[in-house]
C-alpha cells in the first residue's frame, strides 16, 4: 500500500473507517471477527484507522484499541470529541459539547479505551456554535504540548472555521463527507486545505454504500439504520440516482474494476493529500476497496467520469435536517 501525507502525518493511501463495526447498521458484527478484520488490514498495508468516542458509544474505541495494541507502533489512530455524552454511561445529553474541560476529559477517556499514550489525530467531530473555535484549538494545543495528542483535526467545518482554528493550532486534517455524489467540499473546503497545507479525509466515500451498486430502488433499511432517515435513500431518490451508477458502470467495465473501486480511485486521483476512509465489516469488501489503490485513472478516464457525474442531478438531501444543522458547512 502506498502512503500519503496529511500535513506532516504519513498514512496509508486508504484508511479504514471503523464506525460500522460497532454501531449504525444492525446486526452489530461479532467483535472477534472485527478484531481479525482490523489486523488483516494492517497486514495488507493499512496504517490509518478512524474511530470516535460516540461510535457505540465508547465500544468502538475499545475494539480498535484491542485490535491494534500488538502493532501500535505501526499505525495511526484517529478519534474524535465533540458530542455531548455522559462520560460514564455514554448516554446522549443532546447536541454537541466542545467546552475545553469536556475536551480534556474526553481525551483522557479515549486514551484509556484505545490503550495508547498519545492520540495520533484528534478531531473535533462537529463544530460547537457555543464555543469559539479558537478556544477549541487552544485546548487541543495544550493537549499536544502535554504529549496526549499529536495532531489536530476538524470534521465538517466551514472554510472560515478552518482558518480561525489553524491560526491557533495548525490543523493536520479535515474530515468531511466527499464522494462522486456529494461534492460540496470542492467549492471552499478543498481550496482552503490546499492553501494551508492541510490533508483531507473523505468519509462516506462510497455514498454510504450506494456507489457500490449493491443498493437498488427497492432496497429497504432497518429502522436502526441511519439510511432509513436519509432523504437520499427514499425509493424515489434511489431510483432517480441509479442513472449515476449506470454511467459509472460503463467506466468500471472498461477498467475491469468494480463500481466501488472506481469511486475510490476517483477520490485518490483528485489530490495527492486526499485519503479516503471507506468502512466495512466484510473481508471481501475490504479486499475490493483496497484494490482501488492499484487503479490508475487516465486523464481521459477522469474526464469521462466528470462528464457523467456533472450530467446527472443527484436527488435527495444527504442527511436528515436535524443532523445537517450540526455541520459547519
- The active-site residue out of 55, 123, 178, 319 is 55
Of 143, 198, 137, nearest in space to 173 by CA: 198
Burial of 88 (0-12, 13-18, 19+ CB in 10 A): exposed
Q: Within 13 A of 98's CA, how many CA atoms are on the CB side?
A: 25
Q: How far apart are the first and last CA of the chain?
A: 32
Question: Is-catalytic flag, 55?
Answer: yes
- What are the residues whose beta carbons fall under 8 Å from the beta carbon of 112, sequence distance 6 or more? none
The secondary element (H helix, E strand) that includes residue 104 is helix 100-114
Give the span between the Cα atoms of 252 and 55, in whole angstroms.
33
Q: Do 59 and 22 meet the contact criterion of CB atoms below 8 Å apart?
A: yes
- What are the residues whose beta carbons fall under 8 Å from the beta carbon of 326, sequence distance 6 or more? 95, 96, 126, 127, 156
**Phi-psi domain of 30 (left: phi exceeds 0; alpha: psi -120 through 50; beta: other):** beta
The secondary element (H helix, E strand) that includes residue 203 is strand 199-203
Residues labelled catalytic? 55
Amino acid at each position: 500500500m502506498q502512503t500519503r501525507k496529511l500535513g506532516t502525518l504519513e498514512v496509508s493511501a486508504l484508511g479504514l473507517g471503523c464506525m460500522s463495526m460497532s454501531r449504525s447498521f444492525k446486526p452489530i458484527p461479532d467483535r472477534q471477527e472485527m478484531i481479525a478484520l482490523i489486523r488483516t488490514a494492517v497486514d495488507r498495508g493499512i496504517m490509518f484507522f478512524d474511530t470516535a468516542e460516540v461510535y457505540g458509544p465508547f465500544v468502538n474505541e475499545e475494539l480498535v484499541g484491542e485490535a491494534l495494541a500488538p502493532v501500535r507502533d505501526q499505525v495511526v489512530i484517529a478519534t474524535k470529541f465533540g458530542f455531548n455524552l455522559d462520560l460514564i454511561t455514554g448516554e446522549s445529553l443532546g447536541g454537541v459539547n466542545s467546552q475545553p474541560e469536556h475536551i480534556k476529559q474526553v481525551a483522557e477517556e479515549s486514551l484509556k479505551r484505545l490503550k495508547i499514550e498519545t492520540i495520533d489525530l484528534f478531531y473535533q467531530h462537529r463544530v460547537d456554535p457555543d464555543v469559539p473555535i479558537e478556544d477549541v484549538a487552544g485546548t487541543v494545543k495544550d493537549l499536544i504540548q502535554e504529549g496526549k495528542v499529536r495532531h489536530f483535526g476538524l470534521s465538517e467545518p466551514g472554510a472560515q472555521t478552518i482558518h480561525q482554528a489553524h491560526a491557533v493550532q495548525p490543523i493536520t486534517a479535515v474530515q468531511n463527507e466527499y464522494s462522486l455524489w456529494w461534492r460540496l467540499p470542492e467549492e471552499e473546503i478543498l481550496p482552503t486545505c490546499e492553501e494551508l497545507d492541510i490533508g483531507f479525509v473523505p468519509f462516506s466515500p462510497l455514498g454510504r454504500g450506494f456507489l457500490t451498486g449493491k443498493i437498488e430502488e427497492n432496497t429497504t433499511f432497518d429502522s436502526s439504520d441511519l439510511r432509513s432517515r436519509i432523504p437520499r435513500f427514499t425509493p424515489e431518490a434511489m431510483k432517480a440516482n441509479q442513472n449515476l451508477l449506470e454511467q459509472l458502470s460503463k467506466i468500471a467495465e472498461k477498467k475491469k474494476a468494480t463500481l466501488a473501486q472506481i469511486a475510490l480511485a476517483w477520490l485518490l486521483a483528485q489530490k495527492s493529500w486526499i485519503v479516503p476512509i471507506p468502512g466495512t465489516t466484510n473481508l471481501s469488501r475490504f479486499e475490493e476497496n483496497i484494490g482501488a489503490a492499484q487503479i490508475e485513472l487516465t486523464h481521459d478516464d477522469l474526464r469521462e467520469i466528470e462528464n457523467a457525474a456533472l450530467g446527472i442531478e443527484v436527488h435527495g438531501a444527504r442527511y436528515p435536517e436535524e443532523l445537517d444543522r450540526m455541520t459547519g458547512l
